[in-house]
Amino acid sequence: MIRIAIAGAGAIAERAHIPALASVADTQIVAIQSRTVEKAERVARAVSQDDAHRPKVYSNFDEMLARERPDAVGIFTPNNLHCEFTVKALNAGAHVLVEKPMAPIAAEARKMVDAATKANRVLMVAMQLRFGGIERAIKDALTTGAIGTPNFIRARLSHGGPQLWAPRQKWFTTASEAGGGAMLDLGVHVADLAIWFMGEIDSVSGQVGTLAKQIEVDDTGAMVMHFKSGAIGVVEASWSSMPPLSAIEIYGSEGRVMAGYPRNDISILTADGSPAPGFAREDVMSRFDPRDMLAPSRALAENFVGAIQGRMKPSPDGIDGLRAVEAIEACYRSSWTGSRIKLPLDS
């Protein structure tokens, strides 16, 4: 039995990660820590109504680690606590699943990767879009060469902002706790997908702005990614876009992918406009249930547990998380300086 402690009881933990982790066989959520004890108690009751099996509640992370000595820790706190809590958990011998972005800046992400290596523990980042049915089909199409060699990607993730789905969590728009706005919160997801699909990045040019909301951080951003393969990509993120849009376009030497226009629609076509063999829309949509919104989070949780048990390769791992954060930091640096930023970052 893998004993899991949770840090952070906000919307994403309550609605996605905790139910997903609790659904995996051979796991037990033993504790939940939150700055707001009442919130942790409510979430703990949702895990189990039985007093004997209900997770214990803590307000102090260090106390939870010391008393529970968990096998694994899920860290779903405000961004500014990710590095500190992750390193403490790893040093205590626990495996870690940390919410995206794994850290606000690349330097902190590197500390987390180094700590995981030193402790010989699994470090995974909760970028569950890798486990979406549409995204998995795109990855399969690229791996099998269904559209030839990819040379351009455009990926967008946008909605009306955290005020719509987590209105009580003010930290999202507080610079000292979030470290960034829409580009860090949403852009990191699509940056990870772009790197997963297209390979490593050589340099980034970007622009961010606060265009529609009265907040401390950016609500809109875009960046151009120059890949080591020679391919080019555009990543867009927005908290000021309604209705929401999550979309991916990839163009290759022998075809193209278009997904998300509208949601859960996809076409993978060869150069003559015919469906790529094995990737007709009906074939792709038969692989998953688009109504099951928790499926990607469950698959992420299953991968995390499987990696702890040595049955699976962790994905996205700490290096993946670092590369995505590094791309986003380069976007911010480019916006501030007006320069194209080379990767990896020097500091």
Note the pLDDT tens digit of each residue in 286-307: 999 999 999 999 999 999 999 9
Q: In terms of domains, do 215 and 338 share one?
A: yes
Q: Report how many domains make up the chain.
A: 2
Q: In terms of domains, do 285 and 304 share one?
A: no
Tell me what the mean pLDDT of segment 302-323 comes to.
98
Please give the Cα distance from 331 to 115 (Å, whole number): 26
Alpha helices (runs of H) in the chain, residue ranges in sequence order = 11-12, 18-22, 37-47, 61-68, 82-91, 106-119, 133-143, 162-165, 175-178, 182-185, 187-198, 281-285, 295-308, 318-337
Q: In terms of domains, do 79 and 207 share one?
A: no
Q: In terms of domains, do 116 and 223 share one?
A: no
Residue 294 within any structural domain of the chain: no
Percent of the chain at pLDDT > 90 equals 94
Residue 41 within any structural domain of the chain: yes
- For the chain, helix (H) and strand (E) counts, in that order, are 14, 14
Q: Is the distance from CB of 156 to CB of 204 less than 8 angstroms?
A: no
> Is 70 exceeded by the pLDDT of residue 144?
yes
- Confidence band of 166 (pLDDT split at 50, 70, 90): confident
pLDDT at residue number 347: 63
Q: In terms of domains, do 224 and 83 share one?
A: no
Q: In terms of domains, do 93 and 139 share one?
A: no
pLDDT at residue number 54: 95
Tell me which residue range forms the domain holding 328: 133-289+324-342
Q: In terms of domains, do 122 and 138 share one?
A: no
Note the pLDDT tens digit of each residue in 51-109: 778 999 999 999 999 999 999 999 999 999 999 999 999 999 999 999 999 999 999 99
> Is 90 exceeded by the pLDDT of residue 253?
yes
CATH, residue 65: 3.40.50.720
**pTM exceeds 0.85:** yes
Q: In terms of domains, do 257 and 303 share one?
A: no
Note the pLDDT tens digit of each residue in 268-290: 999 999 999 999 999 999 999 99
Q: In terms of domains, do 25 and 174 share one?
A: no
- Confidence band of 164 (pLDDT split at 50, 70, 90): confident
Residue 347 within any structural domain of the chain: no
Q: In terms of domains, do 140 and 262 share one?
A: yes
Residue 250 within any structural domain of the chain: yes
Note the pLDDT tens digit of each residue in 179-224: 999 999 999 999 999 999 999 999 999 999 999 999 999 999 999 9
> Is 70 exceeded by the pLDDT of residue 49?
yes
Percent of the chain at pLDDT > 70 equals 100
> Is 90 exceeded by the pLDDT of residue 346?
no
CA torsion angle for 17, 239, 335, 315 (degrees, to 10)?
Answer: 20
> Is 90 exceeded by the pLDDT of residue 168?
no
Q: In terms of domains, do 123 and 262 share one?
A: no
Tell me what the mean pLDDT of segment 139-163 comes to.
97
Residue 115 within any structural domain of the chain: yes
